A = this chain, B = another copy of it.
Amino acid sequence: MSSLALDAEALYAELLRGVRPLLTPDTRLVGVVSGGQWLAQRLQGDLKLPGQAGAISSAMHRDDYAKRGLSASGQTALPFDIDGADILLLDDVLYTGRTVRAVVNELFDYGRPARVRLAVLVDRGGRQLPVAAEYAAARVALPAAQSLRLAREADGRFSFGIDPGR
């Protein structure tokens, strides 16, 4: 389905609406590097939350670490205490669940959160681990060969890079 068009800006507006009722006064946003980090940063501003959103990298805990290695794309930066925290993880795409497992384990390296929920722009199905999002702005089924990844334009706007695969 090479004509699939996902309007990332429209989905972001949906996410902004969907995330609002999930917030408590103690909720901290933490975005998964790199797409989720962009989402968390922008939500932090649009929701007028004080302080900075956190960023978390899956690189250290991925089960295919040996194959992928460490990417230079970004590192974990959590500018608040994780112990007892109410964390809302943000990611662009939920797929196999392996990234979520990795970043939850990374979070636990920093402390023991009271709660961790997940909100995503797109849930594309294809789960390989018993992971679920509290909120997804869209749910779509995509062929396994197709990759889907958030991109950020020079002006800060979002788009989806869709690689139809071979």
Contacts and interface: CB of A to CB of B under 8 A. Distances in A.
Interface of A: 63-64, 89, 100-101, 104-105, 108, 112-118, 128-134
A124 B63 CA distance: 30
B117 A130 contact: yes
A62 to B, nearest CB: 11
B104 A116 contact: no
11 contacts: A100-B130, A101-B101, A101-B104, A105-B105, A113-B128, A116-B129, A130-B131, A130-B133, A130-B134, A131-B132, A132-B132
Contacts of A113: 128
Name the residue in A64, A117, A130 with the highest tally of chain B Cβ atoms < 10 Å from its Cβ: A130
Contacts of A131: 130-132
> In this complex, which of A63, A112, A117, A129 has the most chain B Cβ atoms within 10 angstroms of its Cβ?
A129
Contacts of A100: 130
A130 B112 contact: no
Nearest to A117: B130
B104 A129 contact: yes
**6 tightest A-B CB contacts, nearest first:** A132-B132, A118-B130, A115-B128, A63-B112, A116-B129, A130-B131
A104 to B, nearest CB: 6
Contacts of A116: 128-130
Contact of A128 (B63, B114, B118): B114
